[in-house]
């Protein structure tokens, strides 16, 4: 099993971040809104207070692409610029996390992601090898 996200997966995250920020510069609602809301998806960490299964579910709901893509599509179809701006902020956050190697979480533990192991799980794996 790969313990670190391959470079290309991190580059995909970086590309998502860059395209989202560039689109926000064109269609956004102002940089203050961007700055205030950029880390909002990380509030999903509070789900871990209810255990790893609920925490992984909450984190993945906030860090998956379906939510922001549906929001962007809704905004595009209705002409709601705020919805598009919110979706772009959300996508930028996801891209940022993925560029850093943070992937969707497994209920097996916070450090087990679809991009590989992170944090303590990664250190433990290296120490056992």
**Contact assessment for residue 61 and residue 67, using Cβ atoms and an 8 Å cutoff:** yes
Query: What is the average per-residue pLDDT within 79-90?
Result: 97
Residue 50: pLDDT band by 50, 70, 90 thresholds? very high
pTM exceeds 0.85, yes or no: yes
What percent of the chain is modeled with pLDDT above 90?
70
What are the domain boundaries of the chain? 7-128
Q: In what order do the strands lie in the sheet with 105-106?
A: 105-106, 109-113, 116-117
Question: For residues 17 and 34, is the Cβ–Cβ distance under 8 A?
Answer: no
């Amino acid at each position: 099993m790969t313990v670190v996200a391959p470079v290309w997966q991190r580059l995909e995250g970086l590309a998502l971040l860059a395209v989202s920020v560039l689109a926000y510069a064109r269609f956004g609602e102002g940089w203050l809104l961007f700055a205030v809301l950029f880390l909002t998806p990380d509030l999903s960490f509070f789900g871990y207070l209810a255990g790893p299964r609920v925490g992984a579910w909450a984190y993945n709901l906030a860090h998956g692409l379906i939510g922001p893509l549906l929001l962007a599509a809704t905004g595009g179809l209705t002409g709601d610029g705020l919805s598009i701006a919110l979706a772009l902020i959300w996508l930028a956050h996801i891209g940022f996390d993925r560029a850093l190697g943070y992937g969707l979480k497994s209920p097996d533990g916070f450090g087990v992601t679809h991009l590989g192991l992170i944090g303590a799980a990664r250190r433990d794996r290296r120490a056992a090898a």
